A = this chain, B = another copy of it.
Amino acid sequence: MGTDTKMALLDSAEKAVRSRGYDGFSYADLSSEVGVRTASIHYHFPTKANLATSLMERYNEMLEADLMALDAKAVSAAKRLRTHIDRYRKGLFDGEGLCLCVSFSISRESLEPRVLSELKRYRDISLNWLEKVFTEGKADGSVKSIGHPRQEAATWLAALEGAQLAARAEKDMTRFEETVALMLGRLD
């Protein structure tokens, strides 16, 4: 294994949090999935809180990179919003996992301030990006009936996370599609 054990642990932990919640997985779970002893996990992540922080940091870096890459493509606002929906659809893994941010929100009280600030950062990045795209959607006419861009952004993000919850509650991807149908319908 060697140096990429740390990455394997992060991958396993992210999957665990997204599918069972922060309080719903243990180092023993990671141990059996990655193939190292729990003591070894503590070498890479001294505490579970530490691991949680690393998870949210990596998650936010990924988000920023994805959104930047999407902006660089210079396509219509509608097309970018469609790709944004795809992110959440893929992130569901057929009803197995939620947005890391949603999972962590529930366990709020068990988390350190550092994780909470990363949680807020995820939302800030998302809302600012969506607000910008809705403003552009008004200009290029690719998105139907846009209200106040900031409010559109907030509702959009909420509906997407709610759509993931719907699919997860019933382990049924059609619930996700049913929920985002109206959103997709607004995009040319």
Contacts and interface: CB of A to CB of B under 8 A. Distances in A.
Interface of A: 19-21, 23-24, 98, 101-103, 105-110, 119-120, 123, 145, 147-148, 150-152, 154-155, 157-163, 165-166, 168-171, 175, 178-183, 185
11 contacts: A21-B107, A98-B106, A101-B169, A106-B106, A108-B168, A119-B170, A123-B170, A154-B163, A154-B178, A159-B162, A160-B162
10 tightest CB-CB pairs across the interface, nearest first? Answer: A158-B162, A23-B23, A162-B162, A154-B179, A161-B162, A23-B24, A105-B169, A159-B159, A21-B106, A151-B181
A148 to B, nearest CB: 7
A106 B102 contact: yes
Nearest to A157: B162
